[in-house]
Amino acid sequence: MFTLLKKEVSNFLNSLTGYIVITVFLLINGLFLWVFPLDFNILDYGYAGLDGMFMLAPFVFLFLIPAITMRTFADEKKLGTIELLLTKPLTDLQIILAKYLAGVVIIIFALLPTLVYFYTVYHLGLPVGNIDMGGTWGSYIGLLLLGATFASIGLFCSSITDNQIVSFIMSVFICGFFYLGFEFIFNLELFGPFDLFIKSIGISHHYSSISRGVVDSRDVIYYFSIISFFILLTKTSLQSRKW
């Protein structure tokens, strides 16, 4: 399993696509935080904080993570190597977890350089260090859990098709619905006393909760439940070849 994990990470980092995806993520965040004269701009806003990045990053992740995961199984199916992979002395779950964890590792690689932004903002504060540390680290944890959830959705979408573009589009749609869809339904106020429950199903609600700096066990359980659900769906998708 760990051999497959290293192979997946290596394949991504050895491809030009991998570096392009990570560079685009950092470039978009960097431009909005430091260059474009918008509400996200730290220098114009005059407040030592990374709130803008944590508001923007989930929307970048909506496209970044499907681009990372779209080839995990779809490429194997297209090249005909999926059968060879499944004959390895690994269970379906081990193969899925190896590919999933590889995606999470790539997400961590994409997030690590943003610590430069944190270091810069930390020293821009008056006095130095005048930054909400709890909220910042809570937001980083929330962003990582959000990315891990999107990765599980992307993995499932890749497992049900041999076309990377189809996998990408499906993943963007499902991730977008889980992040924004339930919030939109909540705002319609159609279900009366159930509106709050519908809002709590959405990822955005739990991401906002963790971003306040309080890592509630209910939020963590929610994320791991969604991840487990889509990993289970991926396992079912792979096992369908035996039906």
The per-residue pLDDT for 108 is 92
Mean of pLDDT over the chain: 85
Q: Helix and strand tally (H, E) in the chain?
A: 14, 0
pLDDT at 243 over 60: no
* Contact by Cβ (8 Å): 68, 107: yes
pLDDT band at 197 (very low <50, low <70, confident <90, very high): confident
Residue 3 has pLDDT above 90, yes or no: no
Ranked by mean pLDDT, the top range of 28-37, 146-155, 182-191 is 146-155
What pLDDT sits at residue 19?
A: 80
Per-residue pLDDT at 42 exceeds 80: no
Structural contact between residues 21 and 67, judged by C-beta atoms closer than 8 angstroms: yes
Quote the pTM value: 0.91
The predicted structure's pLDDT at residue 235: 92
User: What distances in angstroms separate CA 194 from CA 23, 46, 83, 209, 222, one per listed residue?
Assistant: 42, 40, 46, 19, 18
Strand ranges inside 187-227, DSSP E:
none
What is the structure's pLDDT at 195?
76
The percentage of the chain sitting over the pLDDT mark of 70, rounded to a whole number, equals: 96
Per-residue confidence band for 185, with pLDDT thresholds at 50, 70 and 90? confident
The average pLDDT across 132-158 equals 91
**Mean pLDDT in residue range 169-190:** 87
